[in-house]
Amino acid sequence: MVEVQLKKKVTLKRKGESVAFTFNGKLKVKLIWGTDTDQDLCIFFKKKDGQIGGVFSNEYRNKKSDLGTLNDFPYMLHMGDNKEPQPGGEEVEQINVARLDEIDTAYVCVVNYGAAIEGEDVTFSEDHARIELQSDSGDYLEVLADSKEHGHVYCVCSIKNENGENSLKNESRVMDLGTAFEEIPGFELICN
């Protein structure tokens, strides 16, 4: 009988902590949360040639192209914006990634949409959210989105692509919309 072992789930708990990972065709990036808050999963990026972009809900600009595509650049596809979690359960938003070779750095962000629109003072700690990245090569990475800092945007982690090698870094930066606009390449795409 062949001995088989599962790869361990790696949870990056400290800001600045990073880990290498591989994938050969599909990476699933999931936002999972357990409250009735309207959370939005977004990936903003800076290409190796300096251009910026993002994949996010098409409801920000009413453009289906904002969801992305797996067949052409950006090789990322947002699987749809879930409005509200089901009672008593966790809700999931997912972005699939097919390639990262043209991306220098991608920023995985969560936007508390309702609070941002209403100008409410909130933290992410009460939403019990986390980002899970699962590669087709078996890597399973998790970063908690549980900061007690106040703000509407949570830059949870970044993915760096250097020489064909990918690494995930825990960013754990909560910010207001203005700071996100200034500091996250591509965030401006969802702002007026």
The pLDDT score that the predictor gives to residue 9 is 72
CB 73 within 8 Å of CB 16:
no
The pLDDT score that the predictor gives to residue 90 is 82
| In the chain, domain spans | 10-190
The pLDDT score that the predictor gives to residue 157 is 93
**Residues 6+ away with beta carbon under 8 Å from 191:** 177, 181
pLDDT of 176 strictly over 80 = yes
pTM over 0.95: no
- Distance between CA atoms of 186 and 55, rounded to whole angstroms? 9
* Percent of the chain topping pLDDT 70: 92
Torsions phi, psi for 56 (to 5 deg): -160, 175
Architecture of domain 10-190: Sandwich (2.60)
Segment among 7-16, 54-63, 102-111, 134-143 with least mean pLDDT: 7-16
The length of the chain, given as a count of residues: 192
Core vs surface per residue 60-94: b (16+ CB within 10 A) or e = beeeeebbbeeeeebbbbbbebbeebeeeeebebb
The pLDDT score that the predictor gives to residue 99 is 92
